[in-house]
């Protein structure tokens, strides 16, 4: 059973790197497209005995009052005007949150009842986050990159 924390640590490390790289995207839509198309990290985790079940990328905004709001649509313009840096509740703190449901494969295949970690996978959910790096505006559209 000692391998489960090791595989969890590997998954957490890889997913932390993934969300950091997504936060470096030029536009929010680029981050959403990248999480759908980049399969390298999924393959790396699969090679370590970790199966990706579900992935959700969200934009987290903490406004100037300290209220947290999450947006998961992935559509340009998903953040309301009042939460943007020049809005009435802005500027705030903007970040990406990556939530991934994983199954950690058992180390050994043992016949018998489905004992998680011994004869069946262990299901876990990992949440990683990183601050959004680009709070500038697109010179062509004048929209904030975090909302484009």
SS (H, E, C) the chain: CCHHHHHHHHHHHHHHHHHHHHHCCCCHHHHHHHHHHCCHHHHHHHHCCEEEEEEEEEEEEECCCCCEEEECCCCCCCCCHHHCCCCCCCCCEEEEEEEEEEEECCCCCCCCCCCECCCECEEEEEEEEEECCCCCECCCCCCEHHHC
Q: What is the pLDDT of residues 70-104, one digit of tens each?
A: 998 777 778 888 888 888 887 889 999 999 999 98
Indicate the range of 2-6, 40-44, 52-56, 118-122 predicted with least confidence. Answer: 118-122
Q: What percent of the chain has pLDDT over 70?
A: 89
Domain parsing of the chain, residue ranges: 3-147
pLDDT at 55: 94
């Amino acid at each position: 059973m000692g391998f489960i924390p090791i595989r969890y640590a590997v998954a957490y490390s890889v997913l932390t790197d993934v969300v950091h790289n997504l936060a470096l995207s030029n536009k929010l839509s680029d981050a959403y497209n990248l999480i759908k198309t980049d399969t390298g990290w999924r393959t790396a985790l699969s090679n370590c005995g970790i199966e990706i079940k579900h992935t959700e990328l969200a934009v987290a905004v903490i406004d100037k009052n300290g209220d947290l709001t999450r947006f998961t649509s992935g559509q340009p313009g998903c953040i309301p005007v009042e939460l943007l840096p020049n809005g009435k509740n802005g500027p705030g703190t903007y970040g990406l949150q990556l939530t991934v449901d994983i199954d950690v494969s058992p180390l050994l295949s043992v016949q018998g009842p489905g004992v998680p970690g011994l004869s069946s996978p262990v299901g876990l959910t990992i949440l990683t986050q990183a601050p959004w790096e680009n709070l500038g505006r697109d010179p062509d559209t004048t929209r904030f990159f975090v909302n484009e």
